[in-house]
Amino acid sequence: MKLKAALLVALAVGCCTLSAWSQLYQIPLERGMTEAIERSLSSTDTTVHTAFKPFHANEFIRNSVPRFRTNDRRYFNQPEVKWAKEHLLEVREDGLTLFVDAVLDWNIGRDLGDTSAWQDSVTIYNNTRGIALYGDIDNVVSFHSTVFENQTQLPLWLYQATDSLAVIPGQGRFKPFKSNARDFNFASGVISIRAADWMQVHIGYGRHFIGHGYRSMLLSDVASNYPYLRLNFETKNKKLRYTTINAEMLRLERLPLGEVPESLFKKKGFAAHYLSWIPHPRIELGLYEATIFQRWDSTGTQPYPWQYFQPLPGINTAMYGLDSMQNNIVGADLKVKISNRAYAYGQYVIDAAGANNSGFQAGLSMHDILFPRMNLRLEYNEGGIGLFSSSNSLQSYTHFNQALAHPLGTNFKEYIVVLQHGYKRFWSEWKGVYQLHDPGIKGNVFNETAYISSATAQYGKTMLSDLRFGYLINPTSNMQAILGWSWRDREDESGHLLSSLYYLQFSVTLFNKYYDF
């Protein structure tokens, strides 16, 4: 009780009248969960903002989402209830709610498309062990934390990509393990505070996603986690929601070595403003502004400028413009509900003067199209030469050597088709992706010459197909068993590389892995 009282006093002064609010804990930013929630909120008479993710538990009714339902008619004994319906540990008493789950991601596979000596000498696998914690105190303060330990052996093309990026995509830096495997840690966490009925405060280490598509051209969960402060403001009628993010990003380039044994990495500031408006239940419109602030020059690391902290949208772009050293990104997001079972969506983004320094997205999502829980997504994404890059490579729209929006970074065209079907706890998904991307300097978001808008694109092509069959063992923890096949065919000036990976997976899935690039 003393600990709970101390937390409430320290984190939520003035919130004593808020006990009627529902739980605020964060839903994992995992695509199966977020898409299921968004579909449940997409009827033409609902007024709910769905572009900014992750969602929180108070934004939807859990039993209205088929993926989360555990009310099977058959009888479960107590061990089966814990295995198939509940969190590993659940505490609900005296205003405190606490959930704990073991996090596992075990898979093993074989790449039959790789004819090199690599496939003959390694076993492709992943071994992840960790813990996830969710909590809520008097419906005022909520928290979520995960910690993983990982060892993985990757297919040849992905192993080479990690060498080039110096990170495991979306999961951070690694160290060698045994002969050709990787060893790395992964952690995330957030404390959420309902400071008033119109304001939320989130202090965390994690990622965000803005949009309604498979990709985002504004801000995505492609890159690694980052420390952030996020503030949400919402009007009483729920039609306007304003979000600000202040975060610290890294470029994996060392500072000059000082007195410490290992030099730190160069930092850059990230400030984003997103205004979402629902003028009609069928329409959701969002305006986005983000600024990458310069934190390092030849004189060393610089403090944050005051503009980094100002919360008003449009001010940074008005002050600096689109072509300054402080790299500004502006964009828009649109969702239009065609019916209760279909919506169209799109995005537009620009980060410098000139048509080539822009990008857009257009998509259509339909659910229950022929049978209940049969869903179809069609999407197109395009980024011009120089999009998200900068005349100073340290100021590119990136973090931990990966793009903050689309994983291809700059100079690309992409077509995506996703077909899903679910029946009770069984599900299947097929995803097809066709990409055109320049493998040279004009397609490298870190290269300063990619910023030159007069350059000509030289596209290489990538075709990807991913087919998965799964069984959702526990909807509460998102434990599932999956049998899958992932096919990748890449051809460019450097040659031709084929991968055809068959795999078996058992996992508690809490975040997305973007290996489709």
Quickly list DSSP for 48-85. ---SEES-BGGGS-GGGSGGG----SS---HHHHHHHT
Q: Tell me: the pLDDT tens digits for 474-497? A: 999 999 999 999 999 999 877 889
Burial category of 248 from C-beta neighbours within 10 Å (exposed 0-12, middle 13-18, buried 19 and up): middle
Average the pLDDT over 82-94 and give the result. 90
Strands 398-399 and 358-367: unpaired
Which residue from 309, 322, 400, 307 is spatially nearest to 358, judged by alpha carbons?
A: 322
> What whole-number distance in Å separates Cα of residue 176 and Cα of residue 162?
11
Backbone angles phi, psi at 115, to 5 degrees: -100, 10
**Identity (one letter) of the amino acid at 166?**
A
Cβ within 8 Å of residue 300, ≥6 positions away: 255
Instruction: Compute and round to an integer the Cα radius of gyration of the chain.
Output: 23
- The answer to whether 128 and 104 have CB atoms below 8 angstroms apart is yes
Measure the CA dihedral 383/386/388/390, to 10°: 180
pLDDT given for residue 355 in this prediction: 55
Question: Residue 461: enclosing H or E segment and its boundaries?
Answer: strand 460-474
> What whole-number distance in Å separates Cα of residue 500 and Cα of residue 470?
19
> What whole-number distance in Å separates Cα of residue 39 and Cα of residue 258?
52
Q: What angle do CA 224, 227, 228 make, to 5 degrees?
A: 120
Lowest-confidence region among 122-126, 281-285, 330-334, 352-356: 352-356
Question: Is residue 317 assigned to a domain?
Answer: yes
- Scanning the structure block, which residue is given the tokens 């996830």? 132
> Taking 60 as the threshold, does the pLDDT of residue 40 lie above it?
yes
* Residue 324 token pair: 């300054």
Question: Residue 136: enclosing H or E segment and its boundaries?
Answer: strand 124-137
Cβ within 8 Å of residue 80, ≥6 positions away: none
Question: Is residue 219 assigned to a domain?
Answer: yes
Of residues 9 and 217, the one with the higher pLDDT is 217
Of residues 120 and 347, the one with the higher pLDDT is 347
pLDDT given for residue 258 in this prediction: 60
Measured from the Cβ of residue 199, the count of other Cβ atoms closer than 10 Å reads 13
Which residue from 91, 86, 56 is spatially nearest to 191, judged by alpha carbons?
A: 56
Question: Is residue 516 assigned to a domain?
Answer: no
> What whole-number distance in Å separates Cα of residue 349 and Cα of residue 213?
15
Question: Which segment, 6-15, 149-158, 311-320, is predicted with the most confidence on average?
Answer: 149-158
- The answer to whether 33 and 67 have CB atoms below 8 angstroms apart is yes
Q: How confident is the model at residue 15 (pLDDT cuts 50, 70, 90)?
A: very low
Question: Is residue 515 assigned to a domain?
Answer: no
| CATH number of the domain to which 262 belongs | 2.40.160.130
> What whole-number distance in Å separates Cα of residue 194 and Cα of residue 200?
5
pLDDT given for residue 20 in this prediction: 35
> What whole-number distance in Å separates Cα of residue 517 and Cα of residue 505?
21
Backbone angles phi, psi at 80, to 5 degrees: -65, -35
Q: Tell me: the pLDDT tens digits for 276-313? A: 999 999 999 999 999 999 888 777 778 889 999 999 99
pLDDT given for residue 288 in this prediction: 98
Q: What angle do CA 461, 463, 466 make, to 5 degrees?
A: 160
Q: What angle do CA 129, 25, 12 make, to 5 degrees?
A: 125
What residues make up the domain containing 346?
2-508
Which residue from 210, 212, 214, 209 is spatially nearest to 343, judged by alpha carbons?
A: 212
Question: Is residue 514 assigned to a domain?
Answer: no
pLDDT given for residue 353 in this prediction: 64
pLDDT given for residue 462 in this prediction: 96
Average the pLDDT over 195-201 and give the result. 93
Q: How far is CA 159 from CA 400, 434, 498, in A?
A: 17, 21, 14
> Taking 60 as the threshold, does the pLDDT of residue 24 lie above it?
yes
> What whole-number distance in Å separates Cα of residue 246 and Cα of residue 398?
15
Question: Is residue 513 assigned to a domain?
Answer: no
Question: Is residue 517 assigned to a domain?
Answer: no
Question: Is residue 491 assigned to a domain?
Answer: yes
- The answer to whether 392 and 294 have CB atoms below 8 angstroms apart is yes
Question: Residue 473: enclosing H or E segment and its boundaries?
Answer: strand 460-474
* Structural domains in the chain (count): 1
pLDDT given for residue 346 in this prediction: 98
**Identity (one letter) of the amino acid at 472?**
L
Bridge partner list, 330: 289, 350
DSSP string, 90-128: EEEETTEEEEEEEEEEEEEEEETT--SHHHHH--EEEEE
pLDDT given for residue 79 in this prediction: 79
- The answer to whether 487 and 431 have CB atoms below 8 angstroms apart is no
